[in-house]
């Protein structure tokens, strides 16, 4: 589904991604871990096409299409969903209205008929039931005054309604109490399917107790320096990042290329 090769990206004039490669197949859950400032959120932002993130080299193929040439809304319509580390508040805009507008915008790009308010409410009710989420957040403005946990739960609900093919979750576990963490994890597990893939950026292996990943990658200094299964997250929890990917990080960067 997703093939990233030798991706280099710059933010505010500084190179942050430095040759990142990663392959994700449909049905897989990949956890991305790594030290602060390594470039994890930058990867999510580059994949979703956020302004200010400049790709300087490398390729990203999504279902065989060059993702980097697509506008952000075309990426969303093609099924790429990014849940932000710090979800934005949109005061005065009703959450349900926002979600319907987002869904219909995507349907329009895909050439599908827009849902009217009755059809949309039916969908929302179904999703609330499946996701075991109460409807209290739907009547409020988007994320306005939401607690950290409510914002994250709202994101999972947005994901349930938008039904992305590739869901990128950036620190979905940060700031959650244990019950909220379990609820968010249950939401992700409910949405796992053979057609859908997840990239989960996380700092703690705790989330991975509830959403068991197929692969765990360590992103350090703009590259994936080590990959493994869930046991890699346990190793990181026990020993931190010291020594991880040392061989890779120390490898000469395209030695001789400029000679
Ligand atoms: N919009 C921006 N403007 C300026 N610098 C940025 C911007 N976005 C990211 N950076 C810088 O890029 C580097 C990587 O940031 P990024 O958020 O991708 O790291 P991260 O691995 O997600 O870190 P953390 O674990 O702390 O969330 C940091 O030094 C950060 O300050």
The pLDDT value recorded for residue 204 is 83
Q: What is the ipTM of this complex?
A: 0.95
The encoded tokens of residue 21 equal 């490669």
Residue 54 covered by a domain? no
The encoded tokens of residue 205 equal 């292996």
Residue 95 covered by a domain? yes
Q: Provide the 8-state DSSP code for 150.
A: H
Residue of 41, 170, 236 with the most ligand 1 atoms within 8 Å of its CB, for mutation: 41
C-alpha span between 143 and 205 (Å, rounded):
27
Closest CA to 2 of 25, 21, 18: 25
The pLDDT value recorded for residue 38 is 96
Which residue's alpha carbon is nearest to atom 10 within ligand 1? 11
C-alpha span between 33 and 227 (Å, rounded):
10
The pLDDT value recorded for residue 249 is 44
CA of 17 to the centre of ligand 1 (A): 10
Looking at the 3D structure of the chain, how many domains does it have?
1
CA of 84 to the centre of ligand 1 (A): 13
Between β-strands 223-228 and 215-220, what pairing exists: parallel, antiparallel or unpaired? Answer: antiparallel
Residue 257 has pLDDT above 60, yes or no: no
**Per-residue pLDDT tens over the stretch 165-218:** 999 998 777 778 888 888 889 989 999 999 999 999 998 888 899 999 999 999
Residue 136 covered by a domain? yes
Residue 257 covered by a domain? no
**Per-residue pLDDT tens over the stretch 21-44:** 999 999 999 999 999 999 999 999
**Per-residue pLDDT tens over the stretch 227-239:** 999 999 999 988 8
Residue 186 covered by a domain? yes
Angle at 182 between CA 178 and CA 184, to 5 degrees: 115
C-alpha span between 82 and 164 (Å, rounded):
9
Task: Compute the average pLDDT of residues 47-55.
Answer: 92
Q: What is the pLDDT confidence band of residue 84, given thresholds at 50, 70 and 90? A: low
For residue 53, is it left (φ>0), alpha (ψ between -120 and 50) or beta?
A: beta
Residue 259 covered by a domain? no
152 CB-near residues (< 8 Å, 6+ apart): 83, 87, 172, 173, 175, 176, 180, 184
**Per-residue pLDDT tens over the stretch 106-130:** 898 889 999 999 999 999 989 888 8
The pLDDT value recorded for residue 52 is 93
Residue 86 has pLDDT above 60, yes or no: no
Q: Is the CB of 45 within 6 Å of ligand 1?
A: no
Residue 143 has pLDDT above 70, yes or no: yes
Q: What predicted TM-score, i.e. pTM, was given to this entire model?
A: 0.88
Ranges 135-144, 189-198, 249-258: which has the least confidence: 249-258
| 210 close to 42: Cβ distance less than 8 angstroms | no
The number of the ligand 1 atom at minimal distance from the alpha carbon of 43 is: 18
Residue 32 covered by a domain? yes
Residue 256 has pLDDT above 70, yes or no: no
Q: Is the CB of 34 within 6 Å of ligand 1?
A: yes
Mean residue pLDDT across the chain: 87
Residue 259 has pLDDT above 70, yes or no: no
- Residue written as token pair 């400032």: 37
The encoded tokens of residue 154 equal 């709202």
What is the domain-level CATH number for residue 226?
3.40.50.300
Q: Is the CB of 52 within 6 Å of ligand 1?
A: yes
Residue 68 covered by a domain? no
Element containing residue 76 per DSSP (H, E): helix 72-77
Residue 251 has pLDDT above 60, yes or no: no
| 158 close to 102: Cβ distance less than 8 angstroms | yes
Residues of the domain holding 210: 28-47+74-250
């Amino acid at each position: 589904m997703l093939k990233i090769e030798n991706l280099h990206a710059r933010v505010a004039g500084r190179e942050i991604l430095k040759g990142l490669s990663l392959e994700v197949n449909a049905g897989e859950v990949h956890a991305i871990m790594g030290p602060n400032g390594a470039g994890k959120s930058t990867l999510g932002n580059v994949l979703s096409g956020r302004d200010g993130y400049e790709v300087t080299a490398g390729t990203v193929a999504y279902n065989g299409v060059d993702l980097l040439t697509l506008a952000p809304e075309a990426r969303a319509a093609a099924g790429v969903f990014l849940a932000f580390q710090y979800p934005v508040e949109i005061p005065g805009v009703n959450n349900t209205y926002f979600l319907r507008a987002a869904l219909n915008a995507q349907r329009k790009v895909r050439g599908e008929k827009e849902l009217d308010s009755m059809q949309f409410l039916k969908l929302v009710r179904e999703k609330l039931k499946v996701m075991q989420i109460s409807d209290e957040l739907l009547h409020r403005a988007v994320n306005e005054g939401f607690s950290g946990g409510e914002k994250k739960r709202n994101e999972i609900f947005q994901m349930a309604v938008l039904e992305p093919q590739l869901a990128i979750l950036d620190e979905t576990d940060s700031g959650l109490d244990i019950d909220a963490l379990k609820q968010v994890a249950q939401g992700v597990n409910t949405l796992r399917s053979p057609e859908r893939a997840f990239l989960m950026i996380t700092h703690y292996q705790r989330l991975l107790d509830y959403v068991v990943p197929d692969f765990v990658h360590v992103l350090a200094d703009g590259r994936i320096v080590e990959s493994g299964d869930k046991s890699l997250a346990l190793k990181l929890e026990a020993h931190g990042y010291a020594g991880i990917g040392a061989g890779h990080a120390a490898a000469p960067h395209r030695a001789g290329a400029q000679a």
